[in-house]
Amino acid sequence: MISAPDVVAFTREEELEDDLYREPPLPEEYSVPLFPFSGQGANPWAKVAGSKFTRDFILISEFSEQVGPQPLLTIPDDAKVSGTFDLNYFSLRIMSVDYQASFVGHPPGSAYPKLNFVEDSKVVLGDSKEGAFAYVHHLTLYDLEARGFVRPFCMAYISADEHKIMQQFQELSTEFSKASECLKTGNRKAFANELEKKLKDLDYTRTVLHNETEQQKKANDKGYYTTQAIEKANELASVEKSIIEHQDLLRQIRSYPYRKLKDSEFHPYEPECAQDRADMGSHDQDPTASEPGETHLYTHVPSYTPKLIKAKSAKCFDKKLKTLEELCDVYFFTQTLDQLHHIERTFRGDVCYLLTEQISRALLKQQSVTNFLFEDVSFLDEKPPEKQYRGCQGLGQDAMDEKCLEESLAPKVVISLGSYKSSVECVPIKMEQEMEDSEEPKMSESVMSEHQENLDYLDADIKGSISSGESIEVLGTEKSGSGLTKSESQASLPAMASPQAGRSKVGSRRTVSEDSIEVLSTCPSEALIPEDFKASYPSAINEEPYVDDDQGGLRFTPRASPGVHDGQDDISKQESLVQVDAACCIGKESPNFLEPLAEQLGQKACEEDGVVRIPPQPYRGPAEQGLRGGFPSHQGLSGGLLPYELDSRHLTGSREVSKSSLDECSDSTSHISSAASTCSDRTPSPAQPACAQPGDRHRKRAGQNALRFIRQYPFAHPAIYSLLSGRTLVVLGEDEAMVKRLVTALSIFVPSSGGYTKPVKHWVTSALHLVDFQKWKLIGLQRAVSPGGVNVLHALSRYSRYLSILDADSKTLRCPLYKGSVVARLADHRTQIKRGSTYYMHVQSILTQLCSKAFLFTFCHHLHLPISEREPEESVVNRRMNFLKLQLGLANEDIKIVQYLAELLKLHYIQEPGQGGNPLLRFDYVPSFLYKI
């Protein structure tokens, strides 16, 4: 049917398979549905070339009633950022797609002007010619002097990466809503204040006019009114009307539904918020009563002297309009700016990185029992919960529902095969529509609005646009998950809104046209209903068929993004965990429980190919191949590492200046990577929120050092075993830098015992004591020649039973024997991994496996307690050892590792929150051996 090569990419994958390869079809139940858009040539790293700005930025624009659309400010406030990008032009663009039905004034049939509290509209639009894509958040602020009392504004997040905008839509929307709420709250206060003043003026004017009229009446007893008097009376009447109108406006602005404040977390200014709420409770009956914030304002008001208002306060165009700052009260304005800066920091960097980060964060959050051991959990507390992860949760929503029944104790995030199913479930519908009308897919959002994230992806691909000279596409906006008819009617809005739209629109369909604005979905503006706000998801109103153009970025297939696969990997791990858990709880014999994991990994690896096969940059190919070769059993993992890698290279590239002394040890690979990052087409984004930066840098450095350590020292295994089994490792040496480097390297193997910091002490110069071993599990110790040094060594030999000692100067290690296999996988000196951060991830993955084993071991009741009252202790011990050996497949010293981790888990779990808990030192009476190079 379709044979033209340039269209092949957009046909169904199944057709492609059938037509080109003629593979014997698998029975339906065995086939893994292919992701429909991981098509050939889909290069997730391709960027639209030629964007005129260097990195993402936030733009605030206003549709001024005097001069039209104009940019107000950018964040970061740096001319270099926007570069040659035409802000004025882009402001025009983004302001012209404001779908807020912000109607203020006299609605027909209403006596007074009515303020509509419109919900902000959220639109994604793209200008493929400029290479700019933007999330645009329109909002309306009130200004008494403005036409219709409203001033339309918009905040836009502008990026060269369309997919970033599409995939981070929810997050962007959430964050920008906070900023918008902040602005609007300030604006309401300012507006109310302004109205107060105006009312005072009017009141004064009325008094004056009234007096004048009275005087005239007295002076004039003729019985009839002079024109003057009539005029005065009219004037008085109009002032009185005006007073009523303004009072009404004031009432309206104050009766703003404060319940909104309750459910949203937007308030960055807590104390006032709390006051507002308290106030709201007490003054519910009397909305006009002043609230604290305004009382505060009123304290200044008495100094205000009312002015006489001229009869015709005509709006003149030469008057100066209020600035945004004036409109919103300085405090709220700065709060908003802070929030916007926060947004800018949060969304810096590559989308793959952002996604991976979000997914792993979401997964980590779920592993609340074990994640303290090896993960840096501090960031989990910093971030506001839930919303942040909506994207990925939504992704796995269906899967979750399916899995929930099977799962017992295990964490619940499942972004797994199930999500394929869910995407498949909706895809055929689309496909069928394409079949009906293969070139013009229709709107089908009602079916799909539940899968908001999928829809974004679908949007990205199925949406059509013809890049004409005047190319600007609205890719998606938020809608308030309502019925089909509604959406349709709303979809027609943009057609009206865009004057130059010369398109023909029939119902929900559009023909390919040369016009420049393509609206794929839109957001209805409705009166505010919080529930609506919550339920609002971007819809897919796919109007145009995709016609190929040269803007390769549009071919991106987000579902194939490594971030997602990374998540899936974790999930598969969790799934295997679940299986084991179930098995052992039921008591079923499942000695080869690891098989499902392997299978899944293999499966993943196949799917992964779609991604990994396509080298993001030519030079990356060999490295990637090597990496995969080195880890046949962890292909999934290595695939998942890509975005991270990508990002860490950014780090090196952009932050070379801030090399710390520890970076001296970074081996040649990092230089390669930093050289690579000079590749110019990449957004040289520092990629990280400032807070996460040190952690990342630390990881990378630690990974590099660890890699060097395991290559250099043949006795790395027993050393790592010591750390994993909770035996304090002392790194002894004269050179502080060298010792610290070794400590940094080894620190990634140290399980943390709760709390935010790892029990690692980089440098100690005095003699160690027992208390130190309780507190620190990895210590860098100075070897000194001074008499003090003798004491230090004496203490070491005295407490040698609690210690493993790594002598960095003579390259010896004194520690117990290790004959297990876990550490061998953890630290293979022949590893092909070259990059520190890759190795770090590898270590994390193995440690996560260990953690899950420890979790199982800890939480299986009958392994620790007798099943019946009379059961002797020995049989429990036997059962425990059997479980460790047979079920968990641990050998020799590996058992000790899991036992130690289990002990930490127990302690962490039973520890009372308020109580610090006594750190206890566990040890074994085992002989040590001396290892030499």
Asked if 404 is part of the footprint of other proteins (rule: CB under 8 A), the reply reads yes
Asked if 903 is part of the footprint of other proteins (rule: CB under 8 A), the reply reads yes
Task: Please select the residue that binds other proteins; options are 67, 606, 770, 886, rule is CB under 8 A.
Answer: 770
Task: Give the nearer residue to other proteins in terms of CB position, either 23 or 874.
Answer: 874
CB 375 within 8 A of CB 411: no
Task: Give the nearer residue to other proteins in terms of CB position, either 224 or 925.
Answer: 925
Report the alpha-carbon distance of residue 390 to residue 452 in Å, rounded.
10
Asked if 20 is part of the footprint of other proteins (rule: CB under 8 A), the reply reads no
CB 648 within 8 A of CB 14: no
Task: Please select the residue that binds other proteins; options are 774, 812, 821, 892, rule is CB under 8 A.
Answer: 774
For other proteins, which stretch binds (CB under 8 A), given 241-249, 453-461, 492-500, 769-777?
A: 769-777
Sequence-ordered strand ranges (E) for 128-249? 132-142, 150-159
Spatial CA neighbour of 815 closest among 741, 733, 732, 745: 732
CB 236 within 8 A of CB 136: no
Task: Give the nearer residue to other proteins in terms of CB position, either 616 or 816.
Answer: 816
DSSP H/E element including 538: strand 537-538
Binding residues for other proteins, how many (CB under 8 A)? 35
Task: Please select the residue that binds other proteins; options are 408, 660, 680, 757, rule is CB under 8 A.
Answer: 408
Report the alpha-carbon distance of residue 846 to residue 823 in Å, rounded.
9
Residue with tokens 């084991």: 580
Asked if 92 is part of the footprint of other proteins (rule: CB under 8 A), the reply reads no
Task: Please select the residue that binds other proteins; options are 819, 924, 930, 933, rule is CB under 8 A.
Answer: 924
Report the alpha-carbon distance of residue 20 to residue 383 in Å, rounded.
49
- The one-character DSSP state at 614 is S
Q: Six-digit token pair at 387?
A: 């919303």
Task: Please select the residue that binds other proteins; options are 659, 864, 879, 885, rule is CB under 8 A.
Answer: 864
Report the alpha-carbon distance of residue 107 to residue 349 in Å, rounded.
46
Task: Please select the residue that binds other proteins; options are 362, 612, 795, 805, rule is CB under 8 A.
Answer: 795
Task: Please select the residue that binds other proteins; options are 106, 307, 613, 801, rule is CB under 8 A.
Answer: 801
CB 729 within 8 A of CB 779: yes
Task: Give the nearer residue to other proteins in terms of CB position, either 799 or 883.
Answer: 799
Task: Give the nearer residue to other proteins in terms of CB position, either 307 or 801.
Answer: 801
Report the alpha-carbon distance of residue 53 to residue 89 in Å, rounded.
14
Task: Please select the residue that binds other proteins; options are 114, 206, 322, 906, rule is CB under 8 A.
Answer: 906
For other proteins, which stretch binds (CB under 8 A), given 6-14, 448-456, 689-697, 796-804?
A: 796-804
Query: What contacts 660, CB < 8 A, 6 or more positions away?
Result: none
Q: What CA–CA distances, in Å, run from 899 to 576, 680, 890?
A: 20, 50, 11
Angle, vertex CA 674, rays to CA 668 and CA 678, nearest 5 = 145
Asked if 819 is part of the footprint of other proteins (rule: CB under 8 A), the reply reads no
Minimum gap (Å) between residue 922 Cβ and other proteins: 5
Task: Please select the residue that binds other proteins; options are 505, 659, 798, 879, rule is CB under 8 A.
Answer: 798
Task: Give the nearer residue to other proteins in terms of CB position, either 33 or 755.
Answer: 755
Count the residues in the chain.
933
For other proteins, which stretch binds (CB under 8 A), given 122-130, 551-559, 744-752, 763-771?
A: 763-771
Q: Six-digit token pair at 729?
A: 């490792």
Q: List beta partners, residue 277.
A: none
Task: Please select the residue that binds other proteins; options are 26, 586, 785, 865, rule is CB under 8 A.
Answer: 865
Spatial CA neighbour of 418 closest among 564, 229, 609, 521: 564
Task: Give the nearer residue to other proteins in terms of CB position, either 767 or 846.
Answer: 767
Task: Please select the residue that binds other proteins; options are 138, 858, 896, 897, rule is CB under 8 A.
Answer: 858
CB 657 within 8 A of CB 696: no
Report the alpha-carbon distance of residue 366 to residue 403 in Å, rounded.
15
Minimum gap (Å) between residue 406 Cβ and other proteins: 11
Task: Give the nearer residue to other proteins in terms of CB position, either 259 or 801.
Answer: 801
Q: What Rg value do the Cα atoms of the chain yield, rounded?
A: 33
Minimum gap (Å) between residue 596 Cβ and other proteins: 21
Task: Give the nearer residue to other proteins in terms of CB position, either 287 or 919.
Answer: 919
Asked if 21 is part of the footprint of other proteins (rule: CB under 8 A), the reply reads no
Q: What is the largest CA-CA distance in the chain?
A: 123
For other proteins, which stretch binds (CB under 8 A), given 86-94, 324-332, 688-696, 913-921?
A: 913-921
Task: Give the nearer residue to other proteins in terms of CB position, either 40 or 797.
Answer: 797
Identify the three-state secondary structure at position 161: coil
Minimum gap (Å) between residue 577 Cβ and other proteins: 16
Task: Please select the residue that binds other proteins; options are 799, 818, 840, 931, rule is CB under 8 A.
Answer: 799
Can you give the three-state secondary structure of 206-228, one letter per residue? HHHHHHHHHHHHHHCCCCCCCHH
List residues near other proteins by CB under 8 A: 404, 407-409, 412, 769-771, 774, 795, 798-801, 858-859, 861, 864-865, 899, 903, 906-907, 909-910, 918, 920-928
